[in-house]
Amino acid sequence: MKRVAIIGGGVSGLSAAVTLAKQSQHKSGQRFHITILESLSKLGGRVYSFTDKNFSKPIDNGQHIMMGCYRETISYCRQIGSMDKLLFQENLSIPFIAYADEITLLQAPALPYPLNLLWAMLSYRGLDIISKWKLIGFLMAMKFSNRPLSWVNESAAEWLERFDQTPQICSALWNILVVGILNTKPEIGSARLFEKVLREIFFTDSFSSTMVVPKTDLSDVLINPAIEYLGTRGGSVRFNERILAIEENNATLILTNCKGHTEIFDAVIFAIPLFALRKIEGIFSFITLPENDFDYSPIISFHFELKHNPLKEKYYALLASPIEWVFNHGSHISTVTSAATAWIGKSQNELLPLFKGELKKYFGISEDDIIAYRMVKEKRATFVPDIETESKRKKIMQCSLGNVYLAGDWTNTGLPATIEGAILSGKIAAERLL
Ligand X SMILES: Cc1cc2nc3c(=O)[nH]c(=O)nc-3n(C[C@H](O)[C@H](O)[C@H](O)COP(=O)(O)OP(=O)(O)OC[C@H]3O[C@@H](n4cnc5c(N)ncnc54)[C@H](O)[C@@H]3O)c2cc1C
- Nearer residue to ligand X within complex by CB, 154 or 409: 409
**Residue count of the chain:** 434
- Nearer residue to ligand X within complex by CB, 138 or 194: 194
Residue 135 makes contact with ligand X by CB under 6 A: no
> For residues 83 and 61, what is the distance between their CA atoms, to the nearest angstrom?
21
Q: List 93's β-bridge partners, or say none.
A: 107
Binding marks (x or -) toward ligand X, 235..254, rule CB under 6 A? -------xx-----------
Q: Tell me, what amino acid is at 227?
A: I
Question: Which residue from 77, 269, 299, 326 is in contact with ligand X, where contact means CB under 6 A?
Answer: 299
Q: How far is the CB of 408 from ligand X (least distance, A)?
A: 4
Q: How far is the CB of 388 from ligand X (least distance, A)?
A: 19
- Nearer residue to ligand X within complex by CB, 165 or 216: 216
Which of the ranges 106-114, 131-139, 146-154, 414-422 carries the binding residues for ligand X, by CB under 6 A? 414-422
Residue 189 makes contact with ligand X by CB under 6 A: no
Question: Which residue from 211, 276, 370, 371 is in contact with ligand X, where contact means CB under 6 A?
Answer: 276
- Nearer residue to ligand X within complex by CB, 31 or 238: 238
Sequence-ordered strand ranges (E) for 109-235: 211-214
Residue 8 makes contact with ligand X by CB under 6 A: yes
- Nearer residue to ligand X within complex by CB, 120 or 223: 223
> For residues 428 and 235, what is the distance between their CA atoms, to the nearest angstrom?
19
- Nearer residue to ligand X within complex by CB, 132 or 377: 377
Residue 39 makes contact with ligand X by CB under 6 A: yes
- Nearer residue to ligand X within complex by CB, 106 or 381: 381
Q: How far is the CB of 144 from ligand X (least distance, A)?
A: 29
Distances (CA, A) of 115 to 45, 110, 140, 203: 40, 9, 12, 11
> For residues 336 and 181, what is the distance between their CA atoms, to the nearest angstrom?
13
Residue 419 makes contact with ligand X by CB under 6 A: yes
> For residues 408 and 417, what is the distance between their CA atoms, to the nearest angstrom?
9
**132 Cβ neighbours under 8 A, 6+ residues apart:** 121, 122, 124
Strand order in the sheet with 66-67: 66-67, 211-214, 86-88
Instruction: Output Rg (C-alpha) for the chain, integer angstroms.
Output: 22
Question: Which residue from 5, 16, 17, 37 is in contact with ligand X, where contact means CB under 6 A?
Answer: 37
Residue 219 makes contact with ligand X by CB under 6 A: no
Binding marks (x or -) toward ligand X, 62..101, rule CB under 6 A? x-xxx-----------------------------------
Task: Count how many Cα atoms sit within 13 Å of the Cα of residue 412 in the half-sphere of its side chain.
Answer: 12
Q: How far is the CB of 52 from ligand X (least distance, A)?
A: 16
Cβ neighbours around 134 below 10 Å, total: 17
- Nearer residue to ligand X within complex by CB, 149 or 399: 399
- DSSP class per residue in 315-379: EEEETTSS--EEEE-SSEEEEEE-S-TTTTTS-HHHHHHHHHHHHHHHH---GGGEEEEEEEEEE
Cβ(58)–Cβ(49) under 8 Å?
A: yes
Q: By CB under 6 A, name the binding residues for ligand X.
A: 7-13, 37-40, 45-47, 61-62, 64-66, 242-243, 271-273, 276, 299, 301, 378, 381-382, 408-409, 417-420, 422
